[in-house]
Chain A
Amino acid sequence: MDFTIQNQKDTRSGFGEGLLEAGRRNPKVVAFCADLTPSLKMGDFAKEFPNRFFQTGIAESNMINMAAGMALSGFVPFTGTFAAFATGRVYDQIRQCVAYSNKNVKIAASHAGVTLGEDGATHQILEDIGLMKMLPNMTVIVPCDFNQTKNATLAAAEHDGPVYLRFGRPKVPNFTPVDEKFVIGKAQMLQEGTDVSIFACGHLVWKAVQALPILKEMGINAELINIHTIKPLDVEAVLKSVRKTRCVVTAEEHQRNGGLGDSIAQVLAMNAPCPMEMVAVNDEFGQSGTPEELLKFFHLDTPDIVEAVKKVVTRKQ
């Protein structure tokens, strides 16, 4: 993988572009938004397809169930709000009318994790991946950059079934190929290695990319895999990597409980037990600050991934 930074862009803008493109490709694609159209970058879709855009006001429960009702007739509804309000606030609505009823609703969730920044813990949900992956029928996608979020949005639109699509607020390095087809459930190999498997998702993929040259300096040949689909998890890719490296570090902007690391740990425990370290928030709420300050504060930064690798490699010996 070429890690050249093409530009600095927010993943939510990748969603906005992907939604517009999905709308152009398929007249059945419709969008709902609960008073966060600029934040979710849904304005271009709303402008081009005013009849297929539904402003719900600040009423997320109603939004989720209306989307489910509209999905019945063959439409492909995307709902847009912050991740905190797209999951916890409407969990029962998603559970009954989207997941259990298996409706073709795409829950687009922006401003996930601590990189939301200054708004603080009320808005920085760190439990959403767990909430969504526990639901039968639900697909959970956490793309890493602008390009991948756009491509994941297009894939979600083509996928038949409920999807939770999680992305974020800040501008981050955009490095994945522009038009790379996003395959749901297929892990993305970013660098092959032999000494440790790093499984990352979302914004922490780039933090892990930055760890690679540091680890190389230390003589650690790390393998980095982007687990952009938390569910269904690419178990085959995980086990193939682990059978080679025999130790694992996971990195995510989420609670340890219920996140990517939790999913990987289940696979390892049942199939290939080995030392594992988790770079994640550990049972605490977020707080106000800049995104970069918060990543450091909660030990979700590149040095934290490096430390976790050093530790897990030692444990292996």
Chain B
Amino acid sequence: MTINELERTATQVRRDIIRMVHGCQSGHPGGSLGATDIVTALYFDQMHIDPAQFRMDGNGEDMFFLSNGHISPMLYSIMARRGYFPVSELATFRRLGTRLQGHPTTAEGLPGIRIASGSLGQGLSVAVGAAQAKKLNGDPNLVFVLMGDGEQEEGQIWEAAMYAPAKGVDNLIAIIDYNKKQIDGSTDDVLNLGDLRAKYEAFGWNVLEMNGNNMQEVVDTLNLARKNACQGKPQVILAHTEMGMGVDFMMGTHKWHGTPPNDEQAANALAQLTETLGDY
């Protein structure tokens, strides 16, 4: 896909996010909007995947894990737009009986989801396990995982961060949604993350950085990470993003982490996001 096409897709995904959380008056718009460009690039440009023939085992294709499961509206929109399930199903988000549970799960049989997430700190470990399975199977495809930056406060992240380089799990690309905000405020105030680059480098990772809301930079950096992969070290990308990106009043604050817009706010937000691919 061209950069322009990716950007148009991301804009529609942002509309979907607003409409989904507004529709059920529940969910997490801020982080979803911020991470949209990265995951759009992964699903529409970077990953070798076959949505029409979803395989739980992921053999013979790239795999993606969303560790910070609360930004599920973003993932659901992208998966639907990519063809994993009907776009119309986005209207069921968080409603009783839906396959689009508040946090992603395999329990309802939604194609494209391979494991539950929501309780933070676990996705990197899952991705490491999946990457090791690919090595055992001789599968040359890669494993991607997206984590939150606040999630880096979980101790288990650092268990996995220590394990992957030590055991040569180099077919793994981790991305940190580095928006510097979490529920209670800025990461600096809640629990200062310190120098994430230096920390991951000290653990033995190859660290890349990018503006996670600049599509050209996202694609270029993912291309570089793929090129670096399978040469001894796992890759981690610090993706500098803006929580709430694309909706002016949701940016520059942590307040929209888990708060849905009311009718007026939703209309305001949607007026800022062009309908590019048709609303569900």
A66 touches B125 (CB 8 A): yes
Please, which residues of chain A bring their CB within 8 A of the CB of B129? 65-72, 77
A73 touches B115 (CB 8 A): no
B230 contacts partner chain A, Cβ-Cβ < 8 Å: no
A306–B167 alpha-carbon span in the complex (Å) = 53
B128 touches A66 (CB 8 A): yes
Known A52-B136, A57-B162: A73·B58 in contact at CB below 8 Å: yes
B277 contacts partner chain A, Cβ-Cβ < 8 Å: no
A97 touches B122 (CB 8 A): yes
A102–B116 alpha-carbon span in the complex (Å) = 9
B115 touches A68 (CB 8 A): yes
For A84-113 the 0/1 string (1 means CB < 8 A from B) is 000000001101110011110000000000
Known A62-B156, A72-B57, A100-B105: A54·B115 in contact at CB below 8 Å: no
A75–B98 alpha-carbon span in the complex (Å) = 30
Distance of A52 from chain B, by nearest CB (Å): 7
A61–B124 alpha-carbon span in the complex (Å) = 11
Please, which residues of chain B bring their CB within 8 A of the CB of A95? 119
Please, which residues of chain A bring their CB within 8 A of the CB of B162? 57, 59
- Of the candidates A62, A71, A77, A92, the one whose C-beta lies within 8 Å of that of B163 is A62
A96 touches B118 (CB 8 A): yes
- Of the candidates A52, A61, A101, the one whose C-beta lies within 8 Å of that of B105 is A101
Known A72-B58, A74-B57: A61·B125 in contact at CB below 8 Å: yes
B159 contacts partner chain A, Cβ-Cβ < 8 Å: yes
B107 contacts partner chain A, Cβ-Cβ < 8 Å: yes
Known A51-B136, A54-B132, A70-B133: A101·B59 in contact at CB below 8 Å: no
- Of the candidates A56, A65, A69, A100, the one whose C-beta lies within 8 Å of that of B133 is A69
Known A56-B163, A62-B128: A72·B114 in contact at CB below 8 Å: yes
A59–B59 alpha-carbon span in the complex (Å) = 27
A242 contacts partner chain B, Cβ-Cβ < 8 Å: no
Please, which residues of chain B bring their CB within 8 A of the CB of A157? none
A39–B242 alpha-carbon span in the complex (Å) = 49
A67–B125 alpha-carbon span in the complex (Å) = 9
Known A73-B133, A100-B105: A61·B159 in contact at CB below 8 Å: yes
Interface residues of B in 172-204 (CB under 8 A from A): none
Please, which residues of chain B bring their CB within 8 A of the CB of A265? none
Please, which residues of chain B bring their CB within 8 A of the CB of A102? 106-107
B137 contacts partner chain A, Cβ-Cβ < 8 Å: yes
A101 touches B106 (CB 8 A): yes
Known A97-B115, A97-B122: A70·B105 in contact at CB below 8 Å: no
Q: Which residue of B lies closest to A51 (CB)?
A: B136
Please, which residues of chain A bring their CB within 8 A of the CB of B123? 65
Known A61-B125, A61-B159, A62-B125: A101·B132 in contact at CB below 8 Å: no
B156 touches A61 (CB 8 A): yes
Interface residues of A in 95-134 (CB under 8 A from B): 95-97, 100-103
Please provide the 9 A-B residue pairs with the shortest distance between their CB atoms, ordered closest to farther: A69-B129, A65-B125, A66-B129, A62-B159, A73-B133, A59-B159, A69-B126, A69-B130, A70-B129
Please, could you name 24 A-B residue pairs with CB atoms under 8 Å apart, sorted by A?
A52-B136, A56-B163, A61-B121, A61-B122, A62-B125, A62-B160, A65-B123, A66-B125, A66-B128, A66-B129, A66-B132, A66-B163, A67-B129, A69-B125, A69-B127, A70-B129, A70-B132, A72-B57, A72-B130, A73-B137, A74-B57, A92-B122, A97-B116, A102-B106
Residues of chain A at the chain B interface (Cβ within 8 Å): 30, 51-52, 54, 56-57, 59, 61-62, 64-75, 77, 92-93, 95-97, 100-103
